[in-house]
Chains A and B, each alone.
Chain A
Amino acid sequence: MLKESTHNFSVAIRRQILEMVYTAKASHIGGALSMTDLLAVIYNDILNIDPRNASDPARDRFLLSKGHAVTGLYATLGLKGFFLLDDLKTYAMDGSLYLSHTSHKINGVEISAGSLGHALPVATGLAIAAKRKKESWKTYCLVSDGELNEGSNWEAILFAPQQKLDNLVLIIDYNKIQSLGFVKDVIDLDPLTSKFTAFNWDVFEIDGHNHSQIYDTFIQCKESNGKPKVVIAHTVKGKGVDFMENKILWHYKSPNLDELNIAINNLK
């Protein structure tokens, strides 16, 4: 069952994201907030991981492919105790290991990402390794919607069903906005569900902010049915802060102090 703590965990992640982006005057807050509920459920309720033994060979692997939304992942890992939350005060500062893209030098981060379309092929390799070694851990890979423009993702999407990688779960943070515009106006992904069905994936289409729906879906994704799983999570860019929601501007902008305070009061 979904833990009661998951809701508060998601609020804490959002608050941490806002503070990091404000302090660093960095970008990509919208895409971090859109995937926050997914991260909250995945890290609080789904993954078999231990912050004190982050390289346990039996752990589940979570790969964030949209590395620019790193504040979401660092906030999640910091709150889970993979490192001191205080360390995040150095985020994106001179000399900090906390780059503004994911870094595998940080405890709990499986892969560095920043160039889009890289993590899914690597996740596919992890899933093959688990199969070949007959190990039961799962590989989760979270990509953005805009990132599905990259051909390398489609090489892996075409390939994974051939190998019956039912231990691979692809999560799409479908917030409908990419760098320069709305996804439907740049390269429309729809119909996305039938694309994946046609490619022989097991497809789940969910509200990416509904915690119990996210939880139930990932429990179903643990099934061994010979098919890789894709969770198309409909999300809102900037979710949780009303003036950031569904705005291209907040792909880039960092809040000033007033905006930060309003945003934090906005969280619930």
Chain B
Amino acid sequence: MRTAFIQQLINEAQTNEKIFLLVGDLGFSVVEPFATQFPDRYLNVGIAEQNMAGIAAGLAMEGYCVYIYSIGNFPTLRCMEQIRYDICYHDLNVKIVAVGGGYAYGSLGPSHHATEELGMLRTIPNLVVCTPGDPKEAKAITTFCSNYNGPCYLRLGKAGEPLVHMDEDLPPFQLGDILQVVEGAQTAVLSVGATLKYVTDFVTENEIKASVYSFPFIKPINKQMLTALLKKYKKIITIEEHQASGGFGSVILEYINDLIESNDIEIGPIVKRIAIKDKFYSISGSQQYLRNLAGIVLKKEDFI
């Protein structure tokens, strides 16, 4: 995903002279092509994320579309107040990019497990929260973010995620889009970020006739699309590499509650939330190992 991101960012920067990339001394073998092609719009600000977020705000005040790039918790939790106050309160055109969403850097330990940031960031006004599910979605979301005038958070995986969308290119994203990836009935699995490939493989390999949707945005979500989706299924399974508290499953439950309250839907589907259950894992392991340990797995009996 990070490769798709940087390639598309380079494409965007060729026509959009406002794009500026700040890195927090991370991105070895990823950001160099951008730095080489656009030295005037690239800066390594060192290992200082609060300063990086503030600098981004300053550059955005002067008209730049600023990307800040680092790993997991560093461009997010480490500088959360700068994101809230300097970037989002001033409604500035800054894109916060974290690579290594969820357990992507599994063996590096909890310092590198980005498993709480969605819940924190989605409470901040003005901020769009993006969670692409494969490299094609990462590419499309980079185009979206580059053309959207306002703050965005972009949770990426790392390198080498397999493609889920086999089409040449996805159509341009609109704010809040939901993508149907597998067509089925009764049960729908809603996925954010890099669990998408696992989910599509699971339903295909087990010949389960369930639908699979990817949510490249968890904030905002297109209300009409979500309402139609919720009316179609008896059961929803949400899956995410994130704590259950405040994460994507919470987003869906809140929407269902509010749509019932506003009479947009009569009754909500049953929701099974697959997420981390309020735990840190201080054990080395690959992304898949830690997902299994944390119970971020589908079971056949979960489907109707």
Q: Does A93 contact B (CB under 8 A)?
A: no
Contacting residues of chain B (55-73) with chain A, CB-CB under 8 angstroms: 55-64
A151 to B60, CA, bound (A): 23
What distance in Å separates the Cβ of A130 from its nearest Cβ neighbour in chain B? 8
Select the residue from B41, B48, B89 with max chain A CB neighbours within 10 A. B48
Considering only CB atoms, which chain B residue lies closest to A126 in the complex?
Answer: B58
What distance in Å separates the Cβ of B3 from its nearest Cβ neighbour in chain A? 27
Which range holds the interface residue count of chain B? 20 to 34
Considering only CB atoms, which chain B residue lies closest to A152 in the complex?
Answer: B50
Considering only CB atoms, which chain A residue lies closest to B48 in the complex?
Answer: A155
**What residues of chain A lie closer than 8 Å to B266, measured between beta carbons?**
none
Q: Does B280 contact A (CB under 8 A)?
A: no
| A-B residue pair count with CB separations less than 8 angstroms | 88
Task: Check if B89 sits within 8 Å of A112, measured CB to CB.
Answer: yes
A162 to B82, CA, bound (A): 22
Task: Check if A122 sits within 8 Å of B48, measured CB to CB.
Answer: no
**What residues of chain A lie closer than 8 Å to B174, measured between beta carbons?**
none
Q: Does A104 contact B (CB under 8 A)?
A: yes
Task: Check if B56 sits within 8 Å of A118, measured CB to CB.
Answer: no
Q: Does B43 contact A (CB under 8 A)?
A: yes
Considering only CB atoms, which chain B residue lies closest to A125 in the complex?
Answer: B58
Contacting residues of chain B (178-230) with chain A, CB-CB under 8 angstroms: none
Select the residue from A115, A118, A158, A163 with max chain B CB neighbours within 10 A. A118
**What residues of chain A lie closer than 8 Å to B12, measured between beta carbons?**
none
Q: Does B40 contact A (CB under 8 A)?
A: yes
Known interface pairs A112-B89, A121-B82; A128-B59 also in contact (CB < 8 Å): yes
> Among A104, A121, A133, A163, which residue has its beta carbon within 8 angstroms of that of B50?
A121
**Main secondary structure on A side of the interface with B:** helix
**What residues of chain A lie closer than 8 Å to B55, measured between beta carbons?**
121-122, 124-125, 128, 156
**What residues of chain B lie closer than 8 Å to A162, measured between beta carbons?**
46
Task: Check if B46 sits within 8 Å of A128, measured CB to CB.
Answer: no
Task: Check if B85 sits within 8 Å of A122, measured CB to CB.
Answer: no
A130 to B64, CA, bound (A): 11
Considering only CB atoms, which chain A residue lies closest to B79 in the complex?
Answer: A152
**What residues of chain A lie closer than 8 Å to B40, measured between beta carbons?**
132
A152 to B40, CA, bound (A): 25
Task: Check if B51 sits within 8 Å of A159, measured CB to CB.
Answer: yes
Task: Check if B85 sits within 8 Å of A112, measured CB to CB.
Answer: yes
Task: Check if B90 sits within 8 Å of A104, measured CB to CB.
Answer: yes
Contact with A along B81-107 (1 / 0, CB 8 A): 110011001100000000000000000
What distance in Å separates the Cβ of A55 from its nearest Cβ neighbour in chain B? 10
Q: Does B53 contact A (CB under 8 A)?
A: yes
Select the residue from A114, A121, A128, A129 with max chain B CB neighbours within 10 A. A121
Residue numbers of B with Cβ under 8 A of A are 40-41, 43, 45-46, 48, 50-64, 81-82, 85-86, 89-90
Report the 8 A-B pairs with minimum CB-CB distance, sorted nearest first. A125-B58, A121-B54, A129-B62, A155-B51, A125-B55, A155-B48, A152-B50, A126-B58
Residue numbers of A with Cβ under 8 A of B are 104, 110-112, 114-115, 117-130, 132-133, 151-152, 155-156, 158-159, 162-163
Other A-B contacts than A151-B50, A152-B82, 5 sampled, CB-CB below 8 A, are A104-B90, A125-B56, A125-B62, A126-B61, A158-B48
